[in-house]
Amino acid sequence: MSLIDSTRLKQAALKARDHAHAPYSHFRVGAALLDDSGAIITGCNVENATYGLTVCAERVAILKAISEGHRKFLAIAVAADSPTLTPPCGACRQILWEFCGDIPVYLVNLRGDEREVQMAELFPSPFDRRQLL
């Protein structure tokens, strides 16, 4: 039985999306990361005119959480306004795997669509510490 309040987590991701800085693509994304104490740490995408310096919502949430001392994560929700649900990009999948492992990922959009997927399904052959031993 899961102790994850996915409704609360998805709502936090949708709210975080409101803070996105996406003046170029207008593709606003929010993320909400749940740690083992029940704290929810949010992030939003922050674009830059060069695009290459843009930081995705998922990475903002992870980096913010790590910088605030959080270390064990149970789930993440990602919210975007797109007709299809938007999973994390490749770079975010790598960071999520590194810091979270095989956690549930809740995908939501503004139309009310949602899906739960495990990180291992999104990232079946991760590069991690096992390759460095």
Tell me the catalytic residues.
58
Instruction: Name which of 90, 87, 95 is nearest 63 in CA terms.
Output: 95
Instruction: State the Cα–Cα distance between residues 121 and 82, nearest whole angstrom.
Output: 21
User: Residue 29's beta-bridge partner residues?
Assistant: 80
Distant-in-sequence, close-in-space partners of 18: CB < 8 Å, separation ≥ 6: 28, 30, 44
Cβ–Cβ < 8 Å for 4, 75: yes
